[in-house]
Amino acid sequence: KAGVTQTPRYLIKTRGQQVTLSCSPISGHRSVSWYQQTPGQGLQFLFEYFSETQRNKGNFPGRFSGRQFSNSRSEMNVSTLELGDSALYLCASTKQGTFNSPLHFGNGTRLTVT
Amino acid sequence: SQQGEEDPQALSIQEGENATMNCSYKTSINNLQWYRQNSGRGLVHLILIRSNEREKHSGRLRVTLDTSKKSSSLLITASRAADTASYFCATDGNQAGTALIFGKGTTLSVSS
């Protein structure tokens, strides 16, 4: 069974630009969660999508948004990029959601904002 | 916040030794999970322990949970160089629909 796939693997953007990251969950998994990982803040929860609906949202500004498609693939978008948005963005999937279930992570997208 | 906090932040040991990492959290939980992350990669799930369980084993891994102290420990026995990684605990809220929140991790270095 294929794992969680995130594309692209690396991305370099300039301040003020916007970026879209993609996540394909494990086949049959309907929940996709997104996390931002930085050395200073660690892993911070962004949001969770389940069956195309945002079920949970972390404490991030409105510049961070996401969506999920009918095939469970998910995208997250960051608009008006800031230097502090440089991070490893991880997505994770589960069958029904994060309650009582382990998360299956992709290898992340490394975003560098210059 | 229900975020777990690992202790120590960093740990260096020799191959063959045991490694113990601790996690403390603040609110009641339904379960606690441990994950491993190799440098620059995604996290890999190790063990999930429910709030009504006290100990769980998986190969060379042993996890304990003390809900009265709101703490958990991860023991890796007979460590190998390949165990070098960061280890994170994660806690959920005590109800469905809450996100899994991660601590900042323990970085383990095993030298041969």
Q: Does residue A79 carry a pLDDT above 60?
A: yes
The closest alpha carbon to A67, from A46, A85, A53, belongs to A53
Nearest chain B CA: its distance from A53 CA (Å): 12
Q: Given B31, B42, B97, which is nearest A56 (Cβ)?
A: B97
Answer yes or no: do A43 and B102 touch at CB < 8 A: yes
Residues of chain A in contact with residue B99, where contact means CB-CB under 8 angstroms, are 33, 45, 48, 56, 58, 98
- Report the C-alpha gap between A38 and B50 in whole angstroms: 28
Which of 12-41 (A) contact B at CB < 8 A? 33, 35
Residue A98 banded pLDDT, cuts 50, 70, 90: confident
The DSSP-derived string for A64-83 is EEEEE-TTS-EEEEE-S--G
Mean pLDDT over residues A40-65, rounded? 94
- d(CA B106, CA A41) in angstroms, rounded, equals 14
SS3 of B65-89: the string is EECCCCEEEEEECCCCHHHCEEEEE
State the pLDDT confidence band at B96, using cuts at 50, 70 and 90.
Answer: low
- A98 inside 8 A of chain B by CB: yes
pLDDT of amino acid B5 = 84
* Distance between A16 CA and the closest CA of chain B, angstroms: 26
Contact B100 A42 (CB under 8 A): no
Task: State pLDDT tens for residues B68-92.
Answer: 999 999 999 999 999 999 999 999 8
